[in-house]
Structure 1
Amino acid sequence: MTQDGKLETQVTVEKLRNGRWAFVLRRGTVVYPATGQYSSQLQAVSAGQQALKAIVSKG
């Protein structure tokens, strides 16, 4: 938890064994598994940031 009482949320991008890219979301102690099969790292980062915004805005 951060100092203001909100859960810490982060996105990491990983390269899969098949050469594609995916993102992993972590919110507090919950880890959402690798999502997506993106052809570039930039696409995975963009999708991960959009998912992060959606989760944070829900509360």
Structure 2
Amino acid sequence: MTKDFGKGFTIANLKNMRQFYLTFPNGYALRSELSWTHYRLLMRVENENAREFYMQEAVKPQWSTR
């Protein structure tokens, strides 16, 4: 894929993209204030309610990924 589309299509990144799709199937529910790094961390939170809580908290005070 790198040959056809350029950088960013490593096996690890493709796995992250797939996990992102499985974790956040409703694209309209995404927050533009959060970065790809935020979402990569949020994908590790298995409980959907906890994940939503952390999403809201990350947006309000503009949490960094640290």
TM-score w.r.t. the length of structure 2 is 0.38
Give the number of the structure whose alpha-carbon radius of gyration is greater. Answer: 2
Question: TM-score scaled by structure 1?
Answer: 0.41
Greater fraction strand: 1
RCO higher in structure (CA 8 A, sep ≥6) = 1
